Amino acid sequence: MKSLSHIVGSTPASGIRRFFDLVAELDDVISLGVGEPDYVTPWRIREAAIYSLEKGRTTYTSNYGLLELREAIVAKHIERYGTGWNPRTEVLVTVGVSEALDTAFRAILNPGDEVLIPEPCYVSYAPCVAFAGGVPVPVPTRASADFATHPEAIAERITEKTKAILLSYPTNPTGAVMSREGLQKVVDMAVEHDLYILSDEIYDRLCYDTEHVSVPALAGAKDRTILLNGFSKAYAMTGWRIGYACAPAPIIEMMMKIHQYTMLCAPITAQIAALEALKNAEQDAAEMVADYDRRRRLFVRGLNELGLECRMPGGAFYAFPSIEKTGLSSEEFAERLLKEERVLVVPGDVFGEGGIGHVRCCYATATNKLTEALERMGRFLSKL
């Protein structure tokens, strides 16, 4: 048989998957593994979707997505951050932020183009760049600097081939947020070197101590930024597969070329649900965020009391404690904790080199489970 794709073949499989396979063999596991709310989608959103099905709304939509949804997306961004786009030409509704990411990279990259990606980061960025023919270039960030992206670290890695910078605040897996000043410096650098910015702001609603800073709202950013966002996290809608991209019309037009052939459109039921989320579920989202905040404080305090040093994450729903004191690698720690005490965490190094010596714990889990997980982790540590 002829060989399969070299690009796909040389991309490592996600390091998380092995752990999910292990979980399937065990009972009574407390999972802090998947980055997913433990809430079901708020009832009013499900009801709107059910009602739309009753009315027989089961067709394709415009490739761009329902105009009413695109208008609501723009209205929401204007209300929150003061930035707007033309809903007819500058917004594309996608199958989750995942499709928006994939399409955005394919729309801007030519073979060999480099994308600067602050690490540790969400596991899909580097593979998506590679699948689009580009070259991911990691930009390390440090726990001691709250995992903020330093403009100097970016400057050092800019070459003739650099095409874009990926930003994602609040960050998966560290929960880091960046200050307005810090982000503005990165934007200024993108302007100076004429780079695109992809800003994945899927956790924008999950910012606890400070106001979220939306990158396209910064001076000089909007003309070169592709904003990616979606409904999975803030509205507990992971399974609906719905997200969007906002960007200058020529970029959206390029993304659309791919999307119209590969996806046609996002599922109509999910689009109707997303519209309901934007119009009527703000209170539901706010209540879930307040609950994650309580869990964040409880869990991070608990980790530090166990001696697992963990800074208070400013956003998202992940704690990223250092496990260096245990003398175990991230992988060993995660594997033994799972086998010996049935708690699933993700080894930090799957998110990049900066994650070595850390593990990621998702605290979007019921408080009693978090408390039980801390007890089990304490027992595990006392036996080391």
Q: Which is nearer to ligand PLP, 227 or 374 (CB)?
A: 227
- Give the shortest CB-160-to-ligand PLP separation in angstroms: 29
Q: Which is nearer to ligand PLP, 35 or 321 (CB)?
A: 35
**Judged by CB under 6 A, which of 175, 243, 314, 357 binds ligand PLP?**
243
Per CB under 6 A, which of residues 154..183 are in contact with ligand PLP?
168, 172
- Give the shortest CB-202-to-ligand PLP separation in angstroms: 4
Q: Which is nearer to ligand PLP, 134 or 302 (CB)?
A: 134
**Judged by CB under 6 A, which of 87, 96, 216, 347 binds ligand PLP?**
96
Instruction: Write a three-state SS string for the chain.
Output: CCCCCHHHHCCCCCCCHHHHHHHHCCCCCEECCCCCCCCCCCHHHHHHHHHHHHCCCCCCCCCCCCHHHHHHHHHHHHHHHCCCCCCCCCEEEECHHHHHHHHHHHHHCCCCCEEEEEECCCCCHHHHHHHCCCEEEEEECCHHHCCCCCHHHHHHHCCCCEEEEEECCCCCCCCCCCCHHHHHHHHHHHHHCCCEEEEECCCCCCECCCCCCCHHHCCCCHHHEEEEEECCCCCCCHHHCCEEEECCHHHHHHHHHHHHHHCCCCCHHHHHHHHHHHHHCHHHHHHHHHHHHHHHHHHHHHHHHCCCCCCCCCECCEECCECHHHCCCHHHHHHHHHHHHCEECEEHHHHCHHHCCEEEEECCCCHHHHHHHHHHHHHHHHHC
Region of 59-67, 93-101, 152-160, 363-371 interacting with ligand PLP (CB under 6 A): 93-101
Per CB under 6 A, which of residues 58..87 are in contact with ligand PLP?
none
Region of 96-104, 301-309, 359-367, 376-384 interacting with ligand PLP (CB under 6 A): 96-104
**Judged by CB under 6 A, which of 238, 269, 322, 329 binds ligand PLP?**
238
> Is there binding between residue 136 and ligand PLP (CB under 6 A)?
no
Q: Which is nearer to ligand PLP, 11 or 238 (CB)?
A: 238
> Is there binding between residue 35 and ligand PLP (CB under 6 A)?
yes
> Is there binding between residue 97 and ligand PLP (CB under 6 A)?
yes
Region of 91-99, 145-153, 280-288, 293-301 interacting with ligand PLP (CB under 6 A): 91-99
Q: Which is nearer to ligand PLP, 96 or 357 (CB)?
A: 96
**Judged by CB under 6 A, which of 65, 138, 175, 230 binds ligand PLP?**
230
Per CB under 6 A, which of residues 272..291 are in contact with ligand PLP?
none
Contact positions vs ligand PLP (CB under 6 A): 35, 96-98, 122, 168, 172, 200, 202, 230, 232, 238, 243
